[in-house]
Amino acid sequence: MGFYGKEPVNPAKTKATYLWTGLDTPGIFIIEVEGDAPNYSYGFTLVRDTHFVGGLKIDSMGWTGPLGPGTTPYSSRGSFPGQYVSKVVISGSNGDFLIPVEEIPHDAVDSFVKAKAEEELA
């Protein structure tokens, strides 16, 4: 039986991007997390910490169990609406990490989304 909880995060491979949608409207954060989870882990997801005050905090969650030797690399991606902040907190079983946010201006969002879609297909 697996247990649901935080998974380890590699802050060097974690990215936060903010897509501006226009004036006076909240944009969207795109969060991409990578890490090495204990064997046997599955069902990775990113969850907004709704009790965090002062910005955006995202928990990297997953199911682990039964425990086995070694680790398995994982990646997870999510999008979260909100007002722009220059740094977000990404939380894993190995700690909390402050990640800088890359801004994409509203007139470059279409190009950014198209490039990401092409990366997925490659």
**Residue type at position 100:** P
Verdict on whether the full-model pTM lies above 0.75: yes
Q: State yes or no: pLDDT of 50 exceeds 80.
A: yes
2 — pLDDT class (breaks 50, 70, 90) = confident
Instruction: Please say if the pLDDT value at position 72 is more than 80.
Output: yes
Task: Give the pLDDT confidence score for residue 120 in this predicted structure.
Answer: 85
Q: Which residues of 71-107 are buried (b: 16+ CB within 10 A; e: fewer)?
A: eeebebeeebeeeeeeebbbbbbeeebebebeebeee
Query: Could you report the per-residue pLDDT of 95-115, keeping only the tens digit for each?
Result: 999 999 999 999 999 999 999
Burial class for 40, CB neighbours closer than 10 Å (0-12, 13-18, 19+): middle
Condensed to tens digits (0 to 9), the pLDDT of residues 74-96 reads 999 999 999 999 999 999 999 99
pLDDT score, position 26 = 87
Provide the pLDDT for residue 24: 79
Domain boundaries, the chain: 3-121
Give first-to-last CA distance, the chain, whole Å.
Answer: 35
Q: Write the CB contacts of 83 (distance below 8 Å, at least 6 apart in sequence).
A: 26, 27
